[in-house]
Amino acid sequence: MRIAMIGIKAIPARFGGFETAVDEISRGVVRLGHPVTVYNRASMSHHAGRFYEGVELVKLPTIPSKNLSTICHAFLSTLHVMFRRIDVVHYFTTGATLFAPLPRLMGKKIVCSVDGTDWQRAKWGRLARWYLRFSERLAVRFCHGLISDSREVMNYYRQNYGVASSCIAYGMRQHQSAETGAPAYSTLRRFGLQRRDYILFVGRLVPENNVHHLIQAFEKIKTEKKLVIVGDDPWERDYVRSLKSTRDPRIIFTGGVYGEGYAQLQQNAYLFVLPDEVGGTHPALVEAMGFGNCVLVNDTPSNLEVIASAGFSYRGQDGADDLQRRLQMLLEATASVEEYRQKASQRAREHYRWEDVVGQHVLLYRQLLSSGSTLTDARAAVTSAAPAAELSPDRSPYWSSPARLAAKRLLDVSVSASLLAVLSPCLLALAVLVKLTSPGPVLYHWRVVGQGGCRFVGYKFRSMVADADARKPQLLPQNEMTGPVFKLTRDPRITPLGTWMRRYSLDELPQVYSVLAGDMSLVGPRPPLETEFVQFTSFQKQKLAVKPGITCLWQVKGRNRVHDFDDWVRLDLDYIRTWSLSLDLKILMRTVGEVLRGSGK
């Protein structure tokens, strides 16, 4: 497996959550024997060599702009990765997925780690917020898999987009200081700190992290302890300046601290505070627990999910007021703070280990390559893929040839792209005719099951009345096909225009887009509806062993003569058993003949 990672600033990590995640995941995947390429922004990359602990670093330029830096770098990185031998392209943040269709067209699998509801962050302007929210839809549409870092984020995508993503949280490393004795406190001495004599915050200094609430609360607290704020942000200079305008001498701003110095600050804090209000799982919180810190967090669902019963929270909606009360309480409850240090450390060790996170990513990548997608419709009737044991028909040896599969994909992309370009006036005309001749949508959304039981949505021109699915149960007694599929020659739901389109298979033309997107092939077994798939026998499920197609042997040999679905399946299995590129070309030529003869019904 060859993996590429796009969307971060740079590794080794010196910036934030995604950088830390890519740093750990990429090196972990390499240790498991899989090549990984990470795309760094040249101006932010501080590693001199081409390789970083086995991870290949590709450094590309970008525009130094808060709103455009990620998009421009993602564009250049995507162009670069398109023509490399990469199996899976992993985007970090939905904002980078604008260009995901490009590597997908080249047959690469696409996965995106989503960053909570990134569009809600106060740092973005109106246009940037619109784009980030729009990018969520891009990720859902063009990615084969999504990764959420908390159940809250997973539920957000389920409720708003009807898709089930994979939930993989961040990890932490058990860290022991490399220094011993007096040098182990060198960073503390540099900032005038003592062990267990300060409260710690780590993160970007941006409004949604509510550092101003933390400062306001701390200024009102009676204590000799200090507040240490680790972090910065190059784009929020006015906000950072307002934070540093505090006159409280107990508040110390360290800027960015990394490596051994960062570990010292985490290990020796009295309390770690996270007042953020946006996003999923925060790596700094997981790391603080891993370092054995007692933690106090804003009571967002994601934060509460991380700490469970191993930390404290305050009412975020009350801002600095409740945070002040909870801070004062914990400053006076030293025994409780010590007890919760142990609880936090134990929870981090049991639930947030980078070794487990790496293993979950490798498993997800393998699932993408074997089944095509992990992004499933959460509202679908189908809740599980077909068991692997049932998907074992006799296969042509050519299915095991990467070169022949690449040639098949090249044929799909070149033909489908050409058809969409050449037939675009025809497609537009048909869309207008459908809209003018029958009330309802132009396209019929075809919820079907593809290779390995993976579900996707295809499209056809609507050839029936708008409520055709609701009328179907009344027509089931007239079904002309035995088995789980439905076929009726004189179907009363078909519109007059639909009858003409079906005769020449014009209603099928939008499926060419599904071929271009990679959900289907030009030639392959026809995908069943989800409602049909749940009724499939083990024999019938064998047809899902390969990527579905628009046409196959059934369309050119028995389209209007086969009335037993098992006979249809046998033709599909014959195709799987005898497949070759020449067979695909023969089927395509015969399909053209069938279409020109108007043999559809």
State the DSSP code for 315.
-
User: How, if at all, do strands 166-167 and 145-148 pair?
Assistant: parallel
Residue 396 lies in a domain: yes
Q: Which helix (H) or strand (E) holds 541?
A: helix 538-541
Q: Report pLDDT for 382.
A: 35
Please give the structure tokens belonging to residue 579.
């497949």
Name which of 385-399, 544-558, 567-581 the model is least confident about: 385-399
| DSSP per position, 464-525 | B-TTHHHHHHHHGGG--SBSS----TT-TTB-HHHHHHHHTTGGGTTHHHHHHHTS-EEESP
User: What global pTM score does this model have?
Assistant: 0.59
**22 vs 383: which has the higher pLDDT:** 22
Alpha helices (H) in 164-236, listed in sequence order: 186-190, 211-219
When pLDDT is averaged across residues 98-117 and rounded to a whole number, the result is 84
Residue 332 pLDDT > 80: yes
Of the chain, the end-to-end C-alpha distance in Å amounts to 45
Q: Based on the number of CB atoms within 10 Å of its own CB, is 313 exposed (0-12), middle (13-18) or buried (19 or more)? A: middle
**CA–CA dist 499, 466 (Å, integer):** 15
Minimal CA–CA distance to 39: which of 75, 10, 2, 3? 10
Give the pLDDT confidence of 246-280 residue by residue, as tens digits.
Answer: 999 999 999 888 878 888 999 899 999 999 877 67
The CATH number for 11's domain is 3.40.50.2000
Query: Same structural domain for residues 144 and 217?
Result: no
Mark whether 123 and 32 lie in a shared domain.
yes
Assess whether the previous peptide bond of 12 is cis (omega < 30° from 0): yes
Instruction: Identify whether residues 404 and 519 lie together within a single domain.
Output: yes
What does the DSSP assignment read for 4-29? Answer: EEES-S-SS--S-HHHHHHHHHHHHH
Residue 199: beta bridge partners?
Answer: 227, 271
Residue with tokens 């007239």: 478
Q: Is the domain of 287 the same as that of 406? A: no
Q: Look at residue 555 and tell me if it is in a domain.
A: yes
Q: What confidence tens digit (pLDDT) does each residue in 542-573 have?
A: 898 899 999 998 888 756 667 788 888 989 99
Q: Annotate 343-411 with DSSP letters as a single string.
A: HHHHHHHHH-BHHHHHHHHHHHHHHHHHHS---EETTSS--SPPPGGG------GGGG-HHHHHHHHHH
CA-based nearest residue to 327, from 250, 407, 239, 421: 250
Higher pLDDT, 367 or 494: 494
Q: Is residue 499 part of a domain?
A: yes
CA atoms within 13 A on the CB side of 333: 14
* 297 and 324 within one domain: yes
Same domain, 479 and 549: yes
Q: Is residue 314 part of a domain?
A: yes
- Identify the domain boundary among 133, 167, 201: 167
Question: At 385, is the pLDDT very low, low, confident or very high (cuts 50, 70, 90)?
Answer: very low
Last residue of a domain, one of 115, 139, 167: 167
Residue 116's nearest CA partner among 17, 11, 3 is 17
- Choose the weakest-confidence range: 5-9, 11-15, 53-57, 162-166: 11-15
Both 94 and 195 in a single domain? no
Residue 360 in any domain: the answer is: no
The string of DSSP letters for 265-314 reads HHHT-SEEEE---SSS--HHHHHHHHTT--EEEE--HHHHHHHTTSSEEE
Rounded Cα gap, residues 519 and 510, in angstroms: 13
Q: Are 205 and 236 in contact (CB under 8 A)?
A: yes
Structural domain total, the chain: 3
Q: Which domain holds residue 491?
A: 388-597
For the stretch 54-86, pLDDT in tens is 999 999 999 887 668 888 999 999 999 998 999
Q: What is the pLDDT of residues 468-492, one digit of tens each?
A: 888 888 888 888 888 888 888 889 9
- Answer yes or no: is 382 within a domain: no
577, 398 Cβ separation under 8 angstroms: no
Asked if the structure places residue 203 within a domain, the reply is yes
Are 249 and 344 within one domain? yes
Look at residue 384 and tell me whether its pLDDT is greater than 60.
no
Q: What is the mean pLDDT of residues 375-382?
A: 44
Residue 378 within any structural domain of the chain = no
SS3 content of the chain, % helix, strand, coil (to 5): 50, 15, 35
Same domain (yes/no): 56, 129: yes
Residue 378 predicted with pLDDT over 70: no
Whether residues 454 and 483 fall in one domain: yes
pLDDT digits (tens, 9 = 90+) for 161-177: 778 788 888 888 655 44
Instruction: Please tell me whether residues 142 and 202 are part of one structural domain.
Output: no
Amino acid at 568: W
pLDDT confidence of residue 3? 95
Strand runs labelled E in 16-72: 36-41, 51-52, 55-60
Strands 88-92 and 3-6: parallel
Residue 386: per-residue pLDDT = 38
Write down which residue in 122, 144, 167 finishes a domain: 167
The residue among 68, 54, 71 whose CA lies nearest residue 11 is 54
In this structure, are residues 218 and 227 in contact, taking their beta carbons and an 8 Å threshold?
Answer: yes
Say if residue 443 is in the same domain as residue 478: yes
pLDDT at position 78, please? 93
